Amino acid sequence: MADQPSFGLSHIGQITIRVHDIDRAVACYRDQLWMQFLFSFPGTAFFQCGAVRLMLSKPEKGEFDHPSSIIYFTVDDLNAAYERLKARGVHFEDEPHLIANMEP
C-alpha cells in the first residue's frame, strides 16, 4: 500500500458565488440571512460564515457567468430557521425536508 500523502485539502477557506447585482446580494446576505458582513469594493463583497469566508463577485469573464453551486448550512433547528428566514423575506422554492441523515 502506498504511503498516504502528507498534504490534503480539508477545510474550506472561501467560497465565491457569482452575482450580477452586488448591492442586492449584499442586502440579502446581510439583512435577511444576517451573515457577518466584512467589507466590499467595486464588484465584490465579503462575509464571514464561521471559519469560511464567502465572496460575492460579478463574473470576470463570460465563461464564468453561470449559476453557482449550492451551499448547505448547518442549523440547530431546521424548521425554526426556515420560519425565521421566511419572516425576513427570504424566498424558498420548497419547504425543508430531509435528503440524507449525515449523523455518525
Domains of the chain as residue ranges with CATH:
14-59+70-87 (3.10.180.10)
Q: Cell match 449584499: residue?
A: 26
Q: Contact, 54 vs 15, CB < 8 A?
A: yes
Round to whole Å and give the CA distance between 62 and 97.
Answer: 35
At 46-83, the pLDDT tens digits run 999 988 899 998 887 887 788 766 676 777 788 888 88
**Reported pTM:** 0.69
Dihedral of CA atoms 91, 20, 45, 55 in degrees, nearest 10, equals 80
Q: Which residues contact 46 (CB under 8 A, 6 or more apart)?
A: 37, 38, 39, 40, 53, 54, 55, 56
In this structure, the number of other CB atoms found within 10 A of the CB of residue 47 comes to 22
At 8-55, the pLDDT tens digits run 556 778 888 999 999 999 999 999 999 999 999 888 999 999 888 999
